[in-house]
Amino acid sequence: MRRLGRRPRASGRPGLLTPRPSLTYRLISYLLVFPVFRLLFRGRILGKENVPMEGALVVVANHGSHLDPPLLGHALGRPVAFMAKAELFKVPLLGRIIRACGAYPVSRGASDREAIRTATDRLAEGWATGVFIDGSRQVDGRVNAPLPGAALLAARAGVPLLPVAILNTYRALGTGQGWPRLVPVQIRIGTPIPPPASRRRADLDGTTATVQAQINALLDQGLLRGAEHRAALPPTSAGPDPSAPTPEP
């Protein structure tokens, strides 16, 4: 099984590398996650043009379901590293698959300091590192009690945060549900936010509040259907709808 390769960043800190999707990652993303998201849940991704494709990045999202990590990795179009329980890496095949897709182990009972250190190491390797800002699944799928961990990671590594809103997975397979409901699921990708000016609590809390506000604002826009897609998207400096084909010069 191929390991994740590396390729140089186009810009940024010298020597920083960006992980390249492995064959395993591509197979899982396009043969498993893609049909589940696009066909079963009628998935749609909005704002993909906001995703920096090179360099380290803290991806910050709301959390309503166990569906969120694979859907988020697929939506961004680049591998996203997430924390996973160390026990999962001991399961035959599963451990190799999730490792190939960028997951990294965190021991049960590990301190927050250890988890932050591990995530910082991933950022130093150029990963997009995923953080669910509430720390656990929320029954309403919103950002309710955000933790400063994502802002701290961004401050330590000096990298931007990318807010992402995952709509409706809390209804598709939320807490207490044994079987999924085939409701529409959409992902709205916000605009990058600079890292906090320092690691002081006031700066971390300010950035965390900004991320929370942007994610909840994206959630408040609700699900788009059909022609509403183009009508509801705000205009950009680029002019035409970014989802439309680029005209020939």
**What pLDDT digit, counting tens, does each position of 183-198 carry?**
999 999 999 999 999 9
Residue-level pLDDT at 98: 76
Residue-level pLDDT at 26: 85
Average pLDDT over residues 177-181: 89
Q: Are 154 and 207 in contact (CB under 8 A)?
A: yes
User: pTM of the entire structure?
Assistant: 0.80
Average pLDDT over residues 156-176: 95
Q: Are 81 and 130 in contact (CB under 8 A)?
A: yes
Place of tokens 């799928």: 141
Angle CA 157–163–167, to nearest 5: 145
Token output for 20: 């390249």
Share of the chain above pLDDT 90, in %: 49
